[in-house]
C-alpha cells in the first residue's frame, strides 16, 4: 500500500490567509459604527467656574412663549432693560421679566425658584457656588461717586479722601477744599451688591462709618439716593444709572472720571443661573454674551 503524500505548502498559506481575513472582518468590520448625535442649538452647560466666560452659543432660534425671570441688582436695571428689548425683538413671542431689589435678594429668589436668573454686581461667594450657582460675566461697570447738581463742591477727590468720607473720618466739605458745611453721606443698604463692592474696592474691606452725618437707606434703590443728595450730600451708584442724569454730577477720583481708562472704582457685573440651566436661560445667556447682546449693553442704548 502506497504512502499518501502531505499537502503542498501552498495549501497551508492559503488557509492562513483565509483565517486572517476572517478574523479581521469579525473584530473590525462586524462591530457597529458609532452613532453620532447632532449638536443641539443650545447645549447644556457644564460646571462653569464663577468668573469664566460663558460657553453658551448665541441662539439661532427660540421657541415662542419662552419666559425668563431676572431679579437682582439695581445696578443692572439699564442693562436688563436693554437686553430685554433686544432679545424680545430678535425672538418674537418671548418674554423677559425683570425686577430689581438688590443682588442678595436676586440670589435668594433664584435659589427659591422665584427667578430664573439673578443679576448681581459682585462675585458669588463660596457658599453660593456650593449651592450649584454659576456666574457668567456680562460687562464691566464703574461705581461713580456723586453729588447733587447744585452742590457747590466742584472739585475732584482722591481715593484716600473718599475712603475717609465714607468711614466718617472726614465730615466737612472744607476738609477737601469745599465750603464749611457738613458732608451728608447717603449710603446704600448692606443687601446691595454695589454696597459690598464699594466696601471692598474703596474701603479696602473696612466698615462704613457710623457717625451722625451718615445715613443708610432702608431700600436699595438709586432714585431715592439721588433725590436725597441735595446741596450737601454725597453717595455712590453704578455709572450706568447716573451717566445721563441731569440732577447729579459724578466726581473725578484721582483725576479720572468714571468713563476714563484707569478709573479706580471698576467692577464686573454678572448673570447667575442655577445648574443645570433651562433651555430658556441658556438661550438668554447665550444671547447676552454674544457680540449682538454685548452691543445691547452699551449705556446709551
Domains of the chain: 67-140+268-296 (3.40.190.10), 142-266 (3.40.190.10)
Q: What confidence score (pLDDT) does residue 64 get? A: 78
Check whether 147 has a pLDDT greater than 70: yes
Name residue 253's beta-bridge partners.
157, 256
Strands (E) located in the chain: 67-72, 95-100, 117-120, 133-148, 184-187, 214-216, 233-238, 248-250, 266-274
Check whether 171 has a pLDDT greater than 70: yes
Check whether 27 has a pLDDT greater than 60: no
Q: What is the pLDDT of residues 197-244, one digit of tens each?
A: 999 999 999 999 999 999 999 998 899 999 999 999 999 999 988 988
Q: What confidence score (pLDDT) does residue 118 get? A: 98
- Reduced to 3 states (helix: H, G, I; strand: E, B; else coil), residue 241 is helix
Return the number of other C-beta atoms located less than 10 Å from residue 200's C-beta: 14
Q: What confidence score (pLDDT) does residue 241 get? A: 85
> What mean pLDDT comes out for the span 250-274?
96
User: If you average pLDDT over every residue of the chain, what do you get?
Assistant: 84
Distance CA 292, CA 297 (A): 9
Instruction: Give helix 103-111 / helix 193-201 axis angle, nearest 10°.
Output: 130
Q: What confidence score (pLDDT) does residue 9 get? A: 57
Q: What confidence score (pLDDT) does residue 12 get? A: 53
Q: Which cell goes with 208?
A: 462704613
Q: What confidence score (pLDDT) does residue 264 get? A: 97
Return the number of other C-beta atoms located less than 10 Å from residue 74's C-beta: 28
> What mean pLDDT comes out for the span 93-99?
96
Return the number of other C-beta atoms located less than 10 Å from residue 181's C-beta: 14
Q: Which cell goes with 155?
A: 472739585
Q: What confidence score (pLDDT) does residue 5 get? A: 53
Q: What confidence score (pLDDT) does residue 284 get? A: 96
Q: What confidence score (pLDDT) does residue 169 get? A: 98
Task: Give the residue with greater pLDDT, 61 vs 256.
Answer: 256
Which run of H or E residues covers position 85? helix 77-90
DSSP for 184-220, please give it. EEEEPPTT-HHHHHHHHHTSTTPPPP-STTEEE-SS-
pLDDT band at 39 (very low <50, low <70, confident <90, very high): very low
> What mean pLDDT comes out for the span 7-22?
54
Amino acid at each position: 500500500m502506497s504512502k499518501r503524500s502531505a499537502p503542498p505548502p501552498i495549501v497551508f498559506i492559503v488557509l492562513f490567509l483565509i483565517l486572517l481575513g476572517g478574523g479581521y472582518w469579525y473584530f473590525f468590520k462586524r462591530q457597529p459604527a458609532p452613532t453620532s448625535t447632532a449638536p443641539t442649538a443650545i447645549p447644556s452647560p457644564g460646571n462653569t467656574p464663577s468668573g469664566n466666560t460663558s460657553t453658551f452659543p448665541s441662539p439661532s432660534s427660540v421657541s415662542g412663549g419662552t419666559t425668563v425671570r431676572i431679579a437682582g441688582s439695581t445696578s443692572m436695571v439699564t442693562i436688563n432693560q436693554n437686553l430685554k428689548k433686544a432679545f424680545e425683538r430678535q425672538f418674537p413671542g418671548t418674554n423677559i421679566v425683570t425686577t430689581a431689589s438688590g443682588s442678595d435678594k436676586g440670589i435668594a429668589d433664584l435659589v427659591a425658584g422665584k427667578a430664573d436668573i439673578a443679576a448681581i454686581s459682585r462675585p458669588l461667594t463660596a457658599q453660593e457656588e456650593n449651592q450649584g450657582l454659576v456666574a457668567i460675566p456680562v460687562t464691566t461697570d464703574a461705581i461713580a461717586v456723586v453729588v447733587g447738581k447744585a452742590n457747590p463742591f466742584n472739585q475732584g477727590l482722591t481715593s484716600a479722601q473718599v475712603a475717609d468720607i465714607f468711614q466718617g473720618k472726614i465730615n466737612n466739605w472744607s476738609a477737601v477744599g469745599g465750603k464749611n458745611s457738613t458732608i451728608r453721606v447717603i449710603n446704600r443698604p448692606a443687601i446691595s451688591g454695589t454696597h459690598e463692592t464699594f466696601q471692598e474696592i474703596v474701603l479696602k474691606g473696612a466698615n462704613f462709618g457710623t457717625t451722625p452725618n451718615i445715613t443708610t437707606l432702608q431700600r436699595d434703590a438709586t432714585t431715592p439716593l439721588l433725590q436725597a443728595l441735595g446741596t450737601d450730600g454725597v453717595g455712590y451708584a453704578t455709572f450706568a444709572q447716573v451717566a445721563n442724569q441731569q440732577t447729579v454730577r459724578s466726581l473725578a477720583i484721582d483725576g479720572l472720571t468714571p468713563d476714563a481708562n484707569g478709573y479706580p472704582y471698576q467692577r464686573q457685573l454678572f448673570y447667575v443661573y442655577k445648574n443645570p440651566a433651562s433651555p430658556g436661560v441658556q438661550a438668554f445667556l447665550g444671547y447676552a454674551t454674544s457680540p449682538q447682546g454685548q452691543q445691547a449693553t452699551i449705556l446709551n442704548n
